[in-house]
Structure 1
Amino acid sequence: MFRTALRNVLAHKARLLMTTLAVLLGVAFVSGTLVFTNTISDAYQKSSEKGFSGVDVAITPHSDSDDNTGKPGEAPRLGQRVLDRAAQVPGAASATGTVSGYTALSKKNGDLLGSGFSNLGGNYYPGKDGKDPRYTLTDGRAPKAAGEVALDAKSAGRGHYAVGDTIRVSVDGPVRKEKVVGVFTTDDGNVAAGGSLALFDTPTAQRLFAKPGQFDEIDVKAAAGTSQTALKSAIDKVLPKEAEAETGQKLADDQAEQIKASMSGMQTGMLVFAGIALFVGIFIIANTFTMLVAQRTRELALLRAVGATRRQVTRSVLIEATVVGIIAGVTGLAAGVGIGAGLRSLLNSTGATVPDGPLVVDANTVLLSMAVGIVVTVLAAWLPGRRAAKIPPVAAMNSVHAPPSTRGLVVRNTIGAILAAGGIALVLAGAGMGTDGKGLMGTGAAVLVIGVFVLTPLLSRPLIAAAAPVLRLFGMPGKLARQNAVRNPRRTAATASALMVGLTLITGMTVIAGSVQKGIDKMATDALKSDYVVSMGGFDGQRPLSPDVARTIGKMPEVTAYSPLRQSASRIDGDSEFLTGVDGKSITDLVNVDFAQGSFAGLSGNKAVVDDKMAKSHGWKLGSSIPVTYEDGRRGTLTVQGIYTGNEMIRGIMLDSGTLTPHMSTVTDMQVMVKTKGGPSEEAKDALKKALGENPAIQVQNKQDISDGIAKFFTLMLNMLYGLLGMAVLVAVLGVINTLAMSVFERSQEIGMLRAIGLDRRGIKRMVRLESLVISLFGGVLGLGLGVFFGWAAGEMIANGMPTYELVLPWGRMAVFLLLAALVGVLAALWPARRAAKLNMLAAIKAE
């Protein structure tokens, strides 16, 4: 039986090749995902380990405000006294004080240099030998005074800067012109990943990022013969309560875990799409083995007649599946390694440079790839093998084995209806629960898809019958195509379901993305009266902005109203809350929010306005008093003068900046809202940019810019999803080709008879193509319908947190998706149609 199974595998090379390819693609994506994420994670971990190589113990600020007695906000920075104590501890060879913050560098053409989320600046802290062990100078010298800066070698190369050049720098808004006095190399992982690093002398860095004499961290190097643990114990004895120490090894391990955790999200997301491709592949594999077994009915019956048991017949089919799975696993693993390498190169080409390192193909990746390939294939082949073994030998030998009984179809349709109804109920229940219903909705979606798959044979007849008027236009080939499509509903269902799954996800994602974007557009339009919002650029647009920016804007003749938004930590009712300071006189002209009670009018002194959700959670009403502990530890009382409807752009507690600013240790703004004469225009925007020094680190955005900025994120995510889901559609194409090819093989006699009674080769090709087109469009219609339903349900859940959410049906894109489904059908039929047309009519009529 084993030899028979192997012989059968080799006897159907072309058919099994497409089955192997379907499994191979899924396995390749699984292994490629694991190789890519493991490689990136390993590269960053090794880079971070290098960054801690010169740190035996790190001292950082520590907040002791857990009992609500300390000051709100971040812990105070470390002073020179802590540094001196650490340097004098027995076993300490040296102590280095570090301070860092956001620093944007400008290219010579005025653009931002380096990745926006990792533009950093720091201090060069020379030791007794005049060198900082963290950085190796390759050209020039270290910065020694204000107006001097050293650049990392990669940034200097990308920006074409050399020692002696002048570079434009921005830390918190205003442009500074610095002289490049040195170029250095570093093991900093941010630099290795495409970021930039600029070094200043310590007093300058403290003035820019902290306060004179303050440090963010103190790194201590152990003397020879002193362990990290022993050094930490000695340092703990001299530290004040507002500081804590940790070994360099512990910090490296913690950072490695953080990197691993951050990569796991990406890995999980990519594996989900790999799973979708494998799920689609299951339909193809099951379809393939069902048809292969059907073609070998007499052969299997003969084996039964000469003594083979049912178990042996089933086992022979499973052996074939195992061989296919092994081949797919091995080739998929090899392809996955290539995909992993390609993804890393693609990531590098986008500017997000990854630290150098080898491709990581560990044992878990190999084992999982092989297991996925074998298990998926064997599971998909088990039911066809079991079904074949149940056919009585005599019936099979005489080709009288009965098709599925009416009772079997009734049972299948009943189960499908129950699953579909249950899935719809779960999805609707999850949609009404907000974000708490995500799990319920996901379960319901899976159950509904399975239910529709089970019902697909029942749905195929009426939906395909609806295409009959169009098919009649193609004459006899169109009529035959419709009859062939509904002749075997289960096969048609399995083929169409593969395409349905891919289009369901693509359509659902498109509906959600378009609707969210519409909600964001509406939010930006409804919430802002200001013409422009000025903020620091970068990854999140939430970098601190110097108050000088607002003062500069306020002096411009084009500006009619402006208000900086500044945030400060506070404690209210034992909880940490941020207070937002605004210009109480002009805020009414700059934002547009709906007040349930009160208004912005007269916002000054200890008066404040709060959003409705916060008021409800704390039980505040108009006139309520709010005891507050400010950032500096002083206490006060705010009076609620208004309750408004908050949104993602404007929410929380707002009060006049004149009240909030005296309590802030460092006065910075998050953004500045601006209204100009004549409304938004290119001239006004250019004037703002020019007044702010053509600074690449500052972004001046109107409402459309804000919306487009968010839209870019959704567009990027959607394009990535399209690419990932495109693989599932590719697998579905293979399924259509497979089904048609085997259908042509099964109908060889029929095709020969059609040729004999006058249907020419062109008619045969047209018949096969129309059959493929009908099946693909059937799957496309089901996919679009389910996708719209899931998109609507997910939107109901999103609308609970986004009042401006509005369902948008992308009719244009859905039409494109349907056309793509039709194109899939046309392309998938090319080879089977050509093969059918080439059949010799006499040989086909004689075929068994």
Structure 2
Amino acid sequence: MLRATFKSLLARKTRLALSMLAVVVGVSFVTGTLVLTDTLNKTFDSLFAGIDKNVSVAVRAVNQIDASSEAGRPPLPASIVATLAKVDGVRAATGSVQGQAVLIDPRTGKPAGGNNAPPGIGANWTGGDPTSTQEIVTGRAPKTGEIVADGSTVRSMHLALGARIAVQTKGAPATYTLVGTFRIGGQDSLGGAAVTAFDTATAQRVLLAPDQFNAVHLAAAPGLGQEELRARIAATLPAGVQAITGKQLADENASAIQQAIGGFSTFLLIFAAISVFVGAFIIFNTFTMLVAQRVRELALLRAIGASRRQVQLSLQVEAALVGAAGATVGLVFGAGLAVLLRTAVGAFGVDLPSGSLVFETRTIIIAYAVGIVITSVAAFVPARKAASVPPIAAMRDTYVLPTRSLRLRAISGLVLTGLGVLLLAVGAASAGKSAAGAVGGGAAAIFLGVATLSPLLSVPVIRVLGRPFVAAFGTTGHLARQNAMRNPRRTASTASALMIGLALVSAFSILGQSIKESVRTTVQNSLGADYYLTAKGFGTGFSGQVARDIATRPGVGVATGLRGGLAKVEGRTVQLLAGDPAGLLQVLAIKKVDGDLHNLNDRTLLVDEATATDRHLRVGQAVTVTYPDGTDKLTVAGIYKKSQVAGSWIVSTGQYARHSTQDLDLFVLVKRADGADPAAVRAVIDTAVKPYATVEVRDQSEFVAQQEKQVDQLLGFIYVLLALAVIIALFGIVNTLALSVIERTREIGLLRAVGMSRPQMRAMVVMESTIISVFGAVLGVAVGSVFGWALTKALASQGISTFAYPSPTIITVIGVGILLGVLAAVFPALRAARMDILRAISTT
């Protein structure tokens, strides 16, 4: 039986290769994602281990919000360095300063690396200290009025030593002389971020505050371990200051990036799962058709003594071998995909340190598990049918495998679809992660339900879809429609694979259009600004001096900066929005529910209605607000209606500044004075921000267009990933038609014998393929529209307030279905038209 299995497999190499493609694509995606993730994790582990390799212990203030986060962490007084240096076992103590510093390209006036580059990093020069891994490559260390920059940035900007370069820090830009290039931990680049080092006094002044450090790094005396030194240091520290080992510091630094990598990996694996899911339909179809074509062969096996179990096992072994072969090829292609994805990451300005691809044993196991399990499960039902072939069928040319009634399929399909609709309804009526989970589960149930019901839908729907072909092409169109309807299960399975891909394209198109409409509505109804100032690229903010400068310019009525971050209110982590009380209410259209919103000051806060109800808060009530550096008691001054722009909590800029060392705004909203000329005010604002190369100015229409562009970019990336599922479905249509042509060899010969020409034969196969594809596209658009609606409703709490249906895109999706049908039919149509008539007629 095993020899027979291998011979049968090798005898149908072309047919099974098409099925293997579905496995290859799915496994490649899974493998590529895992390899990329493992490679990036190892790369950044090595990078930060190298950067912090000389640090035995790091001393820093406690972050009351997130112990491992540097965001908002309070600084330490410079005097602590001398105190720590005296602790027994400390070989050296070095103060560390870090902050935002953006190099301005002197040729273009734009930030280093462009808009897609990571934010620029500023630090104090510590090269030569026992705790440091900074080392000069060319030039020398910086003094007052000078800087050194990482080698990668200097090369990319084509800078020469001695050049005068503007650097944007927390204040106004200042010009420095470039006197050297350096590397950190043996690397010329820190993940693509431009790193600038100043002398310590300058770094404190422009990045933090005079006589303060972000942390103190300690080197242990020879023979003293990190944990032992940490314990000695911890015993000497005052409340609010902590000591961690150098290893923990490196792990924390790598962890923040690895979390982002993990999110990206999960995102990619979802699309990999979609590809595998679609591939399962193709494999099921292929083995079902192969079993139908091998009835006589299977019956002969039974006649010469093979048991049902042996026949079923033979088919299952074939499927497993196809899965294993597909997984092997998928592993190779997955490595190539990982390289491409890594290059794509580099295209976004992230300059990754060099390193070889990482193939974990887990990746190989998962690849083969996906390939073998998916093919084995997909082939189970066809294998069961193969085992049911009786030995007597070997003597009958006309034996056909019996098919079950569609009644059970109808019941199960209705149950699954009903469950999916129920979950979608629950998700649409809910909010947060639970809503997204319900919508996702509902979508999966509906996909399975509609796929189960599709054989019952195929005949009536295809009868309608095929009418134009009958009207236009007469008998040829009629035959094409009949061929598409003759095997509802096969047609439905083929169309369902395409349905999934096009349904997801439709759903995300609806979500994207709804997001764009929601942005437009929110800007028009919730923001009263005429101009919007934002940081370019991945910048974390820009100097608060920008808003203060613009506010004094002629023609400007209001210019208020918005900033914010994480805090805790009564022990629960929240996102605070901070703004100038005088201008905030003029640019944010928030409506009062209770209290007086104008009473916002440095000792009060505002809260939205839903949060106030949930927290049982009322006007005049005192609440405890915890910042990274400590707590404050504030009074609720007013309650306002929920606002997607304002969020749930608002404090004054003065209150927020008490607990932050960074004078940085995330946005600046500007409103013209009554009667001011728009062009003149725009010119005034452009002039005011010209020194700040990281700031972009947009009017309302430009701001909306920029938000829509970001949505389109994300959708474009999603469409590229979904294209893999659509391509697998395309292979499935090709596979089904090719096997169908082989199955109908005698029929095709008879049609040709009674007068059907080769062009008519090609047209018939093309129309059959097109009808099946349009059926899949129609199902996909219908399911995707429901899914898109539910997804939009479920994400209402995230600011998607408007449902919009992108009719042009949906029409395009159906057009893509038609095009796929035509493309898929090219090879099978040519094969059918080229058949030798006499040989075809004589085929049994």
- The TM-score with structure 1 as length reference comes to 0.92
SS at match of 2:406: helix
Q: Write the letter of the residue equivalent to 1:44.
A: F
Which amino acid is the alignment partner of residue 492 of structure 2? Answer: A
Q: CA deviation at 1:2?
A: 1.0
Q: Tell me the residue number matched to 2:286.
A: 288
1:273 aligns with 2:271: yes
Shift of 1:393: 1.9
The DSSP-based 3-state class of the residue aligned with 2:379 is helix
2:490 corresponds to which residue? Answer: 491
Alignment counterpart, residue 562 of structure 1, candidates 559, 564, 571: 559
* 1:757 aligns with one of 754, 757, 776: 754
Q: Note if contact 1:328-1:373 (Cα within 8 Å) is conserved in structure 2.
A: yes
Q: 1:122 aligns to what?
A: 123
- Judged with a 3 Å threshold, the aligned counterparts in structure 2 of structure 1 residues 417 and 584 are, in CA distance, closer, same or farther, namely closer
- Which deviates more from structure 2 when the two are superposed, residues 519-528 or residues 815-824? 519-528
Offset from partner CA, 1:522-560 (integer Å, 9 cap, x none): 112211111113344442x652523x3223112211312
Deviation string 1:391-425 (CA, Å, 9 cap, x unpaired) is: 222145324545545x6211221221222122212
Find the aligned partners of 1:523 and 1:348 in 2 and give their Cα distance.
34
1:426 matched to 2:423: yes
Aligned partner letter, 1:377: T
Is the counterpart of residue 843 in structure 1 residue 839 in structure 2? yes
Secondary structure, counterpart of 1:614 in structure 2: helix
Q: Which residue number in structure 2 is paired with residue 69 of structure 1?
A: none
Q: Distance in 1 between matches of 2:458 and 2:837?
A: 31
Partner in structure 1 of residue 386 of structure 2: 388
Q: CA deviation at 1:116?
A: 4.4
Q: Pick which of 269-278 and 625-634 moved more.
A: 625-634
Deviation digits for residues 439-466 of structure 1 (CA, Å, limit 9, x no counterpart): 3332222121111111111000111011
Relative to structure 1, the CA distance from residue 795 to residue 666 in structure 2 (aligned partners, 3 Å threshold; closer, same or farther) is closer
Task: Specify the SS of the correspondent of 1:525.
Answer: helix
Pairs within 5 Å for 1:85-484: 85-108=83-106, 109-114=108-113, 116-125=117-126, 133-145=132-144, 147-187=145-185, 191-395=189-393, 397-401=395-399, 404-405=402-403, 408-435=405-432, 436-472=434-470, 473-484=472-483
Q: Distance in 1 between matches of 2:251 and 2:650?
A: 41
Range with greater deviation from structure 2 (605-614 or 42-51): 605-614
CA root-mean-square deviation = 2.7
Aligned partners of 1:99, 1:239: CA distance in 2, in Å?
20
> 1:527 and 2:526 equivalent?
yes
Change (3 A) 1:558 1:345: same
Quick check: 1:543–1:670 contact (8 Å CA) kept in 2?
yes
In structure 1, what is the equivalent of residue 682 of structure 2? 685
Write the deviation string for residues 653-700 of structure 1: whole angstroms up to 9, x where unpaired.
446657876787665544332112567956543431322234221222
Show the counterpart of 2:16: 16
- 1:703-742, aligned counterparts within 5 Å? 703-742=700-739
CA distance in 1, matches of 2:358, 2:380: 34
Residue 596 (structure 1) aligned with residue 593 (structure 2): yes
1:774 maps to which of 767, 771, 781? 771
2:815 to 813, 819, 825: 819
Corresponding residue number in structure 1 for 2:696? 699
2:97–2:203: 8 Å Cα contact kept in structure 1? yes
Partners of 2:592 and 2:701 in 1: CA distance: 25
Distance 1:604 1:725, change over 3 A: closer
Moved more, 112-121 or 519-528: 112-121
Q: 1:645 maps to which residue?
A: 641
Shift in Å, 1:92: 1.8
Instruction: State the 1:825 CA deviation.
Output: 0.5
Q: For 1:191, what is the secondary structure of its paired residue?
A: coil
- CA pair 583-22 structure 1, distance change in 2 beyond 3 A: closer
Aligned counterpart in structure 1 of residue 547 of structure 2, from 510, 528, 550:
550
1:207, 1:732 → 2: CA distance? 61
CA distance in 1, matches of 2:591, 2:282: 55
Could you tell me how far 1:390 is from its partner in structure 2? Answer: 0.8
Per the alignment, in what secondary structure is the counterpart of residue 701 of structure 2? helix
User: Counterpart of 2:4?
Assistant: 4
Shift of 1:760: 0.8
Q: 1:834: how far off?
A: 0.6
Offset at 1:469? 2.6
CA distance in 2 between counterparts of 1:484 and 1:569 reads 62
Change beyond 3 A, Cα 1:268–1:559? same
The structural deviation recorded for 1:828 is 0.5
Partner of 1:34: 34
Normalised by the length of structure 2, the TM-score is 0.93
How many residue pairs were aligned? 833
Residues 555-564 or 783-792, more deviating: 555-564
TM-fit CA distance, 1:389: 1.1
Distance 1:61 1:101 in 2: 16
Q: Indicate which of 600, 614, 618 corresponds to 1:617.
A: 614
8 Å CA contact 2:137–2:183 kept in 1: the answer is: yes
Asked whether the 8 Å contact 1:95–1:220 carries over to 2, the reply is yes
Q: 1:214-242: per-residue Cα shift (whole Å, max 9, x none)?
A: 11011111222222222222222322222
Range with greater deviation from structure 2 (760-769 or 552-561): 552-561
Greater Cα offset, 150-159 or 431-440: 431-440
2:684 aligned partner, one-letter code: A
Contact 1:173 1:698 in 2 (8 A): no
Any residues of structure 2 matched to 1:76-91 within 5 Å, and which? 76-91=74-89
Displacement of 1:431 in angstroms is 1.7
Q: In the alignment, is the contact (CA less than 8 A) between 1:43 and 1:355 conserved in 2?
A: yes
- Which residue does 2:53 correspond to in 1? 53
Could you tell me which residue of structure 2 aligns to residue 787 of structure 1? 784
Aligned partner of 2:508 in structure 1 is: 509
Q: Distance in 2 between matches of 1:42 and 1:103?
A: 27
Alpha carbons of structure 1 residues 629 and 433: separation in structure 2 relative to 1, 3 Å? closer
Q: What is the letter of the counterpart of residue 689 of structure 2?
A: L
Moved more, 425-434 or 646-655: 646-655
* Partner-residue secondary structure (3-state), 1:245: strand
SS in 2 for 1:553: helix
Compared CA separation, residues 10 and 121, structure 1 to 2 (3 A): same
Q: What CA distance in whole angstroms lies between the structure 2 residues aligned with 1:760 and 1:32?
A: 47
- Distance apart, 1:488 and its partner CA: 0.5
Percent identity between the aligned chains? 36
Which deviates further from its counterpart, 217-226 or 473-482? 217-226
| Worse overlay, 28-37 or 686-695 | 686-695
Q: CA deviation at 1:703?
A: 2.8
Separation (CA, whole Å) in 2 of partners of 1:158 and 1:450: 51
Unaligned stretches of 5+ residues in structure 1: 67-72
Q: What does residue 833 of structure 1 align with? A: 829
SS across alignment from 1:169: strand
Q: Matched residue of 1:685: which SS?
A: helix
Partner of 1:70: none
Paired residues of 1:585 and 1:602 also in contact (CA < 8 A): no
Q: Is the 8 A contact 1:532 1:680 kept in 2?
A: no
For residues 715 and 12 of structure 1, do their structure 2 counterparts lie closer, same or farther at Cα, with a shift above 3 Å needed?
Answer: same
SS state at 1:792 partner: helix
| Shift in alpha-carbon separation, 1:646–1:365, aligned structure 2, 3 A | same
Q: Find the aligned partners of 2:222 and 2:182 in 1 and give their Cα distance.
A: 27
Tell me, yes or no, if the aligned pair for 2:118 and 2:350 is still in contact at 8 Å.
no
CA distance in 2, matches of 1:450, 1:766: 32
